[in-house]
Chains A and B, each alone.
Chain A
Amino acid sequence: MKIESLFRLKGMIRKEWLQIIRDPSAIAIAVFLPIFLLLIFGYGISLDAKEVPLAIVVEQHGQATDSFIGSFGANPYFTPRHMGSIQEAENALKNAEVDGIVWLQHTFEQEYLAHQSPPVHLIVNGGDANTARLVEGYVQGIWANWLNQEARLSGRKMNSPLQLEQRIWFNPGVRSTEFLVPGVIAVIMTLIGSLLTALIIAREWERGTMETLLVTRMTVIEMLLGKLIPYFGLGITGLTISLLMGRFVFEVPMRGSLTIILAASVLYLLVALAMGLFISTIARSQFVAALAAMIGTFLPAFILSGFIFDIRSMPPLVQGLTHLIAARYYVAILQTLFLAGDIWPVVLKNSAALLFMGVLFFTLVILKTNRNLEQQ
């Protein structure tokens, strides 16, 4: 009987595989979607500010003023636009021609020379909170830098009593690509594992092929394995593409070991597949399956995994909710492995959570899948 069981499994895998290579949408999800998503997140969506248009209003020029203003033109973050009056600058801000205004009043030069602390007015467009905060930070940085430089050149004592020395760990360039790419990989794994798997089983119900499979002597385990193995292969394909692109196109560092990255990915892929299979035990139409996979797995992997939005800044209730999202653990592992290195406590803790979820879903799937048509 063992031989027969292998025959059935081989038959199922071959059939699945033929269907995958003949179905353009499966290939698209496994091959083109990773490339597409990585390109969008790698190039299109950047959470960094670069060449932000900034209005500069100087009411009275002087040596110190011009030197300070000059440092805006000399860095890649801003494109300064000099304006004659604050009214003109405010209009530009209202018309979204600039994202912020640096306003040096006519007393600036005098007060600075008189060793008072003259105010630098900064007005930012808070409509885009992310850019606003970045502009604010960058302007502060430029101000601090310039003061430092002036102090060194003139031998004058700094007026600010405190000096800020910034060090950014793990991602010194503060390039958002470096933490977005690991997140994108998690999203892709979720799509292949859960969405595709849930869809193909629902398709068997819709087209009536399931009834025919049920009257063969195939066991539940054989059927599940027959579905799992080809889609696991497909997931690994997507993963490989993502890793290669991350490494060679976006030059994301891989500070942890590749073996651990792969091991964690295999673990997460199995969890995602188990979730897909679980959805398919409930949903018997492709429409319901797609909706359930989207709401149950894909969107949470996007929003609640910490991939884009920091989990710690979420309301406590939502933070609690993120513990139910498998992608959260995977994103944590990946970001650590990519950017920080083999930090074992992080890897082990999150892997344990993934393992638990995987076992849970597989158990549910095996219990819920039955070989008849009775509705439970």
Chain B
Amino acid sequence: MPAENSSKQTVAPLECTGVSKEFTVEARGIKALEQVSFTLKKNMVTGLIGPDGAGKTTLMRLCMGLLKTSAGSLSVLGFDPLRDRNTVLAKVGYMPQRFGLYQDLTVQENMDLYADLQGVALQQRGERYAQLLDMSGLTPFTRRLAGNLSGGMKQKLGLVCTMIRPPQLLLLDEPTVGVDPVSRRELWNIVYHLVEEEGMAVMLSTAYLDEAERCREVILLHQGKVIGQGTPSSFSNQVQGRTFQVQAEGEHKRVMQKKLARMNQVQDALILGKSLRVVTEKGQTLDSKDFPGHDVQVHAVPPRFEDYFVATLKTKHQKGGQAITLHTAIQESDSAVIQVQDLVRTFGSFTAVDHVSFHVNTGEIFGLLGANGAGKTTTFRMLCGLLPISSGSCRVAGMDLRTASAQARSRIGYMAQKFSLYGNLTVGQNLKFFASAYGLRGKHQKRQMQWAISTFDLDQYLKTESGMLPLGYKQRLALAVALMHEPDVLFLDEPTSGVDPLARREFWTHINSLAEQGVTVLVTTHFMEEAEYCDRLVIMAEGNLLAQGTPEEIKADNSDREGATMEDAFIHLLEHNGAAQ
């Protein structure tokens, strides 16, 4: 490749030709990347977009010479990342998903360390530091320990440390995951700024499809394969004329969603607050005449990137997902199932949850929305009785779960944030173990296991080790386990984090059908759009409750314009509560 070096102008920042990467996990080959080919363009932000397990991180590690390709070739700024490793490392900045900040070092000390490691001359540092700190808004915090920064500030510091020596190509691996919407917007602004001022090429990976629109170009990665490359609009234009917003008066949104899902011309129907967003089948449209005798309004809306993803990858057979039918009917009651009053939790001098109050009614889907570190999981653990409360009270189905009997606890189902089943047991063994753990015996156990297997379509995987399941199936299994004992109240902690939009839709179909049968669902999420699926929700930041109500109420109360999204409302809330940095 030395020939190309001479003509610097023509060298692409990154060129992949038929790149494949296979891992061996317990003697089984797993294809992380298959025949990936693309060329990255200069002076722009390219989004590498795909759900967890699409191969984004593997691709970035290959570019940095941290992994070796199984086949194909990579050229980074005209160099081979393995053979010319040091040249590549000198010219490329890489920020891994969990950037290596030293939590016990201050902001300044972290910067000094990376300046030393990147070989930045002492006399150049002062000016560069000032510039980067100013851009990231970290100037007042240079003496703070990195571990005491908020999630958003940590990401910004990570970016700053990567940038101390200005790279020609910047690789950012999911820099915005779990970050509050204000910090997320600021991170994006920093990235744009870098491209404009320093003229570098940026490749940024993300699992949030709504971030595609912020990129100049998008590479869509799915299950290790490139599905397409182009401007965001070149993707969404392919579903032009197939996207609609549907609003029905006097009909519950979930009933309406089921109706729509059964219609032939509808490919996808998604709840968005009070209305529904519909993608029709190719060549089909939708209007209010399709709903005779009902007061239904249908508007055409501009397509989004996610619409393309769903329209392209959703097959007929996945349509809708399967509804869940419980054996035992849940007794309706008028009183609140979950009652939280002035809940406080402190860890030393740090207040993780600060006087939070809310209640959840029977059969409601209730959301706790907030960034990482907002106090959602702490609240959740107190509700489940996993963590003692500092003051206040919380009652679930009339009991305090910390002191409730096992009998009483069996009315609760819990699905933890991370896959918390036994990875080295098979699907069948996990089901059997958890059925016994929940006290199901004999015929009853058999019936419930059978129910779980057929409802969640686990037949084909019964003898597979759970750790080897595809992400979507892991999630099905986790939900099956949480539901086998037919709880009245279901706790879901970040259930759809990182899964692709199709699996997320399927998951919510399950949740919706549970709510219809009277199961009360409490769900935490940092995913703005997921908040729209809830009946009511609270928004949390830094331990405080910022807003509470239906998605419509929150959006209407916290924005100045029509058609504001949940993210707009969240940003508005953060800015007006002084909680944003």
Contact = CB atoms under 8 A, between A and B. Distances in A.
B67 A217 contact: no
B113 A209 contact: no
Given A11-B116, A217-B90, A19 B105 contact: yes
Interface residues of B, number: 30
Interface stretch (B92-100, B320-328, B523-531, B559-567): B92-100
B382 interface: no
Contact of A15 (B65, B109, B119): B109
Given A8-B117, A10-B116, A208 B97 contact: yes
A213 B98 contact: no
A218 interface: yes
Contacts of A19: 102, 104-105
Interface in A201-225: 204, 207-218
Given A11-B113, A14-B113, A374-B67, A217 B102 contact: no
A372 B81 CA distance: 11
Given A8-B117, A11-B112, A373 B105 contact: no
A147 B94 CA distance: 86
Contact of B101 (A4, A209, A374): A209
A18 interface: yes
Interface in A11-40: 11-12, 14-15, 18-19, 22-23
Nearest to B64: A215
Contacts of B86: 217
Contacts of B65: 371-372
A373 B117 contact: no
A7 interface: yes
Given A22-B104, A373-B61, A207 B98 contact: yes
Nearest to B61: A373
B246 to A, nearest CB: 44
Interface of A: 4, 7-8, 10-12, 14-15, 18-19, 22-23, 204, 207-218, 371-374
Contacts of B189: none
Nearest to B105: A18
Contacts of B117: 7-8, 11-12, 213, 216-218
A90 B90 CA distance: 83
Interface of B: 61, 64-68, 85-86, 89-90, 94, 96-105, 109, 112-119
Most buried by B among A212, A214, A373: A212
A8 B120 CA distance: 10
Given A7-B116, A15-B105, A15-B109, A216 B61 contact: no
Contacts of A11: 112-113, 115-117
6 contacts: A7-B117, A11-B117, A23-B104, A212-B96, A215-B89, A373-B66
Contacts of B100: 204, 207-213
B104 A216 contact: no
A373 B97 CA distance: 14
Contacts of B105: 15, 18-19
A372 B101 contact: no
A372 B67 contact: yes
B97 A15 contact: no
Given A210-B100, A373-B61, A373-B66, A215 B94 contact: yes
Contact of A207 (B61, B94, B103): B103
B71 to A, nearest CB: 15
Contacts of B67: 372-374
Contacts of B115: 11
Contacts of A22: 104
A223 to B, nearest CB: 10
A176 to B, nearest CB: 41
A59 B117 CA distance: 85
Contacts of A210: 100
Given A14-B113, A14-B116, A372-B67, 10 more contacts: A207-B98, A208-B100, A209-B101, A213-B100, A214-B64, A215-B64, A215-B66, A216-B89, A216-B117, A373-B61
Contacts of A372: 65-68
Contacts of B119: 4, 7-8, 217
A11 to B, nearest CB: 3
A7 B103 CA distance: 22
Contacts of B118: 216-217
- 3 A-B pairs with the lowest CB-CB distances in the bound complex, closest first: A11-B116, A212-B100, A209-B100
Nearest to A1: B119
Nearest to B117: A216
B66 A211 contact: yes
A263 to B, nearest CB: 32
A67 to B, nearest CB: 70
A83 B105 CA distance: 69
A209 B102 contact: yes
Nearest to B58: A373
A133 B372 CA distance: 65
B122 to A, nearest CB: 9
A166 B64 CA distance: 73
Contacts of B114: 216
B109 A18 contact: yes
Nearest to A218: B117
A239 B239 CA distance: 73
B99 A208 contact: yes
Nearest to B104: A22
A355 B319 CA distance: 69
Contact of B66 (A10, A14, A214): A214
B357 to A, nearest CB: 36
Nearest to A373: B66
Nearest to B87: A217
A216 B118 CA distance: 6
Nearest to A213: B100
Contacts of A213: 100, 117
Given A11-B113, A15-B105, A18-B109, A208 B66 contact: no
Contacts of A218: 117
A196 to B, nearest CB: 15
A15 B112 CA distance: 9
A226 to B, nearest CB: 10
Contacts of A18: 104-105, 109
Contacts of B85: 371
A247 to B, nearest CB: 35
A199 to B, nearest CB: 14
A211 B102 contact: no
A207 B98 CA distance: 8
Contacts of A373: 61, 66-67
Nearest to B103: A207
B449 to A, nearest CB: 34
A212 B118 CA distance: 11
Contact of B99 (A7, A212, A217): A212
B113 A15 contact: yes
Contacts of A209: 100-102
A2 B67 CA distance: 27
A209 B98 CA distance: 8
Contacts of A8: 116-117, 119
A18 B102 CA distance: 10
Contacts of B104: 18-19, 22-23
A213 B89 CA distance: 11
A217 B65 CA distance: 12
Contact of A374 (B64, B68, B116): B68
A15 B108 CA distance: 12
A373 B98 CA distance: 15
A214 B103 CA distance: 18
A217 B89 contact: yes
Nearest to A11: B116
Most buried by A among B98, B105, B113: B113
Contacts of B113: 11-12, 14-15
A133 to B, nearest CB: 51
A210 B102 CA distance: 11
B97 to A, nearest CB: 7
A374 B116 CA distance: 26
Contacts of A211: 66, 96, 98, 100
Nearest to A22: B104
